[in-house]
Amino acid sequence: MWTCERWPTLSGRCQTGCWSPDGNRLLFTVLGEPLIYSLSFPERCGEGKGRVGGAKSATIVADLSETTIQTPDGEERLGGDAHSMVWDPSGERLAVLMKGNPRVQDGKPVILLFCTRNSPVFELLPCGIIQGEPGAQPQLIAFHPSFNKGALLSVGWSTGRIAHIPLYFVNAQFPRFSPVLGWAQEPPAGGGGSIRDLPLFTETAPTSAPWDPLPGPPPVLPHSPHSHL
């Protein structure tokens, strides 16, 4: 039987949230905060029946107030509050629509992409951004429920256009993105507060980067000025 309880320690109401595909983790944000919280719901077995019990407290897994990422044009500073979040069915990509912080990147709304891993431990790593044409702002985001080559993100723009953005997975250890979007990001290898850092959040302290760089330079692909993945 479900019961309702008020959570009095949050600074405001819930803005957005999404479940992991396996249903064992809930990510959510609070209105007016640039933070992503996580609640785990591990399955427990007792008396021959499975039951679900949630964590007693939420964990902060991301601070979106300011993030620096590497793009073909150099470093870009992004930041702001999360307006909405969606998690792809494979559990490997999280898309966050950010309103934008006026003190960072002129406050332009962008979609920030994360590589995620929910097992054996939870990890969250910024891996790219999606920006629209000048004057276009993202309004709605959703992942296709059964795209078998990776993740397919659909974006509704303020101009009335809808874009379908495929994110192709080469393998689970080193994902590469769609050449349609023009740029394949190098795997994480460390660096000053940027997309190439170690995971933004991990439940354990890893001894090395979660994905080891492949030998040789990254592939050269056509470049789109608006989408950096």
Q: Is residue 60 part of a domain?
A: no
Domain limits for position 190: 65-204+216-228
pTM above 0.75, yes or no: no
In a domain, 51, yes or no: no
Q: Contact at 8 Å (CB) between 114 and 127?
A: yes
Please give, one letter per residue, the 3-state secondary structure of the chain: CCCCCCCCCCCCCEEEEEECCCCCEEEEEECCCCEEEEEECCEEEECCEEEECCCCCCEEEEECCCEEEEECCEEEEECCCEEEEEECCCCCEEEEEECCCCCCHHHCCEEEEEEEECCCCCEEEEEEEECCCCCCCEEEEEECCCCCCEEEEEEEECCCCEEEEEEECCCCCCCCCCHHHCCCCCCCCCCCCCCCCCCCEECCCCCCCCCCCCCCCCCCCCCCCCEEC
Q: What are the pLDDT tens digits along the chain (229 aa)?
A: 677 777 777 777 889 999 999 888 999 999 888 899 998 887 765 544 444 566 677 889 988 887 777 767 777 777 888 899 999 999 999 999 988 766 665 667 889 999 998 888 889 888 888 888 888 999 999 999 989 889 999 999 999 999 999 998 865 444 444 333 333 333 332 233 333 334 455 554 333 333 233 333 333 333 333 444 4
pLDDT score for 95: 96
Q: Write down the pLDDT at residue 27.
A: 94
Instruction: Kindly state whether residue 69 falls inside one of the protein's structural domains.
Output: yes
167 domain residue, yes or no? yes
Is 20 inside a domain boundary? no
Predicted local confidence at residue 37, as pLDDT: 92
- Asked if the structure places residue 99 within a domain, the reply is yes
Between CA 79 and CA 95 the distance in angstroms is 14
What was the pLDDT predicted at 97? 93
Residue 175 is predicted with a pLDDT of 41
| Beta-ladder partners of 201 | 124
Answer yes or no: is 38 within a domain: no
Number of domains in the chain: 1
Is position 12 within any domain?
no
- The CB-side HSE value for 151 (13 A sphere, CA atoms) comes to 28
Q: What is the pLDDT of residue 64?
A: 87
